[in-house]
Structure 1
Amino acid sequence: MVGILTYCEGHVELAAHLTRQFSLPGNTPTTAVACRDKHLTRTLLAAAGVPSARSYLVRNADTAVEYSVLLDGPVVLKPRSLAGSAGVHRADTPQQVRNAFAAARNAALLGLEKSAAPGVLIEEYLDGPEISVECVVLGDATVHIAAITRKVLGDEPGFQEVGHLVDATDPLLADPQIHDVALTALNAIGATTGVMHVEMRLTRRGPRIIEINARLGGDLIPHLVHLATGLNLPQIAADLAVGTDPELTPTRSQSAAIRFLYPAVTGRVTTMYAGLSASWLDTFEWTAEPGDHVNAPPHATLLDRLALAVVTGADPDTCHRRLQLTDERCGIHIQPDIVTTACVV
């Protein structure tokens, strides 16, 4: 059996072209482009009547300020084609809009900006909890929701993802609105097969699409799904890529969560320590080391993360307590950057 798939954001278009060239199962290049290009995503969703955010492509800061008035409220500015919340900021005032536009225009992450469609989006701010829906697309009108991921975000104006939680018995799994929005959104961008990572905000008006990704979710979300439900999303994606039926029956029923430690100050890492060992601590890993320079939010990216911890538990509350205990048992020291000021007489 032969198949082609990728979990890398920067390779989804290439993978789609290769599956088409060799007549293998997979989404079309058009669908891959629609997922990478957030402006195209919004355009297709709007045309299909899928609940989303009002969004405009802006070429300069002055135009962004004009559209912020039109949107009449808090706005979000983001790069047209990046990932990992890089360059995404909320803005409430004209000056904040200008600053956020500059941050979005200049954002870079893992080289993705080299193949990204140029431009900045300004969108209405969607209030409410953020989730991702881990979808298995089995056909044009068949979508199986494998899991719901509850996201923990850092303080605004940034939208750094500082943690995720998957619960096998999450009541949102049975929410018909979430299923309908995911299905209509995936149909709108032409998705036909594969594991898709669909991000939403649960607003007072109902679920609204944030973005659609033609790949597995990042941040070890597939690992959380496996720990919580037994479902193996990478294996499911591989099965679909070679044209075989995947196993979609859960074999576990618990919760799993991950938390990322971000620096409290910008500076250079000097020392770190961890002092916890437990059967429920699936993973603890330092992602920084002494000598590394790290940026504190709101200027941090996922490359500034210091550590990650993955825990399991019978329910979400247990996972939250265990993550808190893990935080308390580890520590890191950062030598802050020296800020100098000059007095001109």
Structure 2
Amino acid sequence: MSGMNRPMMLLIGLDRYVLDACGRLGVDAVAVYGAGTRDNGLQEIPDHVRPVFCDDHRNPEAVLTALHRAGFAGRRFDAVQTTDEWALVATSVLGTALGCRTVDPGTAVLFRDKHLQKERVRAAGIPAARSAVLEDIHLVGEGARLPFAPAVVKPITGAGTSLTSVVNDATELRRLASVYRDQRTANRTFVAEEFMPGQEWTADGVVSHGEVIFYGLGEYASSCLSAIESGTPLRMRKFDPDAERWAYDLAGPVVHAALAALGATDGVFHMELFHDPDSGRVAFSECALRRGGALTHEEIHCKFNVDLGEAAVRCALGDRQVPDVKVRPGTVGSSYLPSRPGILLSCSSAERLRELPAVEFARIDLPPGTVLPSAFSGTSKRIGQVMFVTPSTEELDQRVEETRSWFLERLQVIPRDVVTRRLREWTRATAGAGYADILYVPDQA
């Protein structure tokens, strides 16, 4: 993509792998980001990208006014792209307004609204849960009824398993609504989905010009919801397309049919599925038109030699592509690192984690001073992550447990909500400082 006429892309939000790909592919990029990203301070913007700050990069008005202030009022962009789940519809609207390549707004809506998405997929004959809209969770009262039970209740345009619960009857639904009303949740419109039993699978891949040109299949060790409810660190692994071809044979028709039903033409996708081991049936759960979170990018690149950041840039520009898939032998998987409630004092570094057996990659996501909750509220929250490559699934299980234990032994967390005496005791045991009540004795010399 180098030469006299370098393409110009508008990026909404910051994705480290998309930013890197723009530099390697010779794409001029303007990246608009908001206050949350700036305050987080983790994402660095490379020199080859022009940054533009605004109050909220998920708000088209904030983005457009910021672009005008930065001197881009009359600049022609070839494409606009985002990896931010909550910015997908705004990005589509911006691209339409700017007259550049983008996701169609109607398609973007289908990839955000979980009820509309399932209705479209079910209408195409694809197995999926029934769903019902709860227009305002704050107003769910005594007359409320649950159309099916048990049901999974969650924000209709949410992500990361945030504010997601299983309710078994109308009484539990009303109780949950009361909690959200008291919390004054910003999310008001929810969806109740028929509970689907089975194993939770993932499909992460690339669709180009309406064709699925690659996807890698994976699984969660336990469902995202059960991991959040139990406080257990999330675990994932990728299926090998040769050794576990049976899984691809089962999931493939659902993946292709669902993307076609939702109108996906160009982009990176993250799909979740339910596999029933007894019947062998694979059902659709939900799909996002962006790469998956956690270490999805790293797992896919490691196992299949496919760079989802580069694929996202090429798809946004309409570049027809054929990924150079090279399947790495063995088992590739990852895990969130364990935590304890309190104030994070210190933990092992990513560099030290990478020295452990079978560890291919590691990240620490939270800095010292962060308040760690008793349980993280969604899958986008974690103290850190680690990726493994092992000869077998059994060894992956072993390495995950060993690494979690090793990390937890070295995790230093200051207790919260305890009396001062307990803090003094903890400090003596941990740091060797007693903070004793010292008396002043004048020097008699």
TM range (shorter): 0.7 to 0.9
**Aligned-pair identity (%):** 20
Q: Structure 1 residues 209 and 103, CA, compared in 2 at 3 Å: closer, same or farther?
A: farther
1:164 maps to 2:239: no
1:323 maps to 2:400: yes
2:43 aligned residue: none
Q: Deviations over 1:299-327 (max 9, x none)?
A: 63346422211222234333332222211
Task: Work out the number of aligned pairs and report it.
Answer: 327
Q: Structure 1 residues 49 and 249, CA, compared in 2 at 3 Å: closer, same or farther?
A: same
Aligned equivalents of 1:272, 1:30: Cα separation in 2: 45
Report matched runs for 1:57-136 at 5 Å: 57-58=133-134, 59=136, 60-62=139-141, 66-67=145-146, 70-71=147-148, 73-101=149-177, 118-136=188-206
1:253 aligned residue: 328
1:306 aligned residue: 383
Aligned equivalents of 2:104, 2:305: Cα separation in 1: 29
Larger RCO of the pair (alpha carbons < 8 Å, separation 6+):
1
Paired residue secondary structure (1:66): coil
5+ long unaligned stretches in structure 1: 341-345
2:309 aligned residue: 234
1:192 maps to 2:268: no
Paired residue secondary structure (1:36): coil
Q: TM-score, normalised by structure 2?
A: 0.65
1:321 maps to a residue whose letter is Q
Q: Structure 1 residues 107 and 284, CA, compared in 2 at 3 Å: closer, same or farther?
A: farther
Q: What is the CA RMSD across the aligned residues, in angstroms? A: 3.1
Aligned equivalents of 2:121, 2:343: Cα separation in 1: 44
Aligned equivalents of 2:105, 2:359: Cα separation in 1: 40
5+ long unaligned stretches in structure 2: 1-6, 8-77, 420-445
CA contact under 8 A between 2:115 and 2:132: conserved in structure 1?
yes
Deviation at 1:201, TM superposition (A): 1.1
Aligned equivalents of 2:227, 2:177: Cα separation in 1: 13
2:68 aligned residue: none
Aligned equivalents of 1:199, 1:64: Cα separation in 2: 33
Paired residue secondary structure (2:347): strand
Aligned equivalents of 2:143, 2:133: Cα separation in 1: 9
Paired residue secondary structure (1:175): helix
More strand by share: 1
Deviation at 1:120, TM superposition (A): 1.0
1:8 maps to a residue whose letter is D
Where do 4+ consecutive residues of structure 1 move more than 6 Å?
none
1:149 aligned residue: 218
Q: TM-score, normalised by structure 1?
A: 0.82
Aligned equivalents of 1:5, 1:181: Cα separation in 2: 26
Q: Deviations over 1:80-119 (max 9, x none)?
A: 11111101111235443334445677697xxxx6xx7x41
Q: Deviations over 1:100-147 (max 9, x none)?
A: 445677697xxxx6xx7x41111111111111111322334x323420
Aligned equivalents of 1:107, 1:295: Cα separation in 2: 20
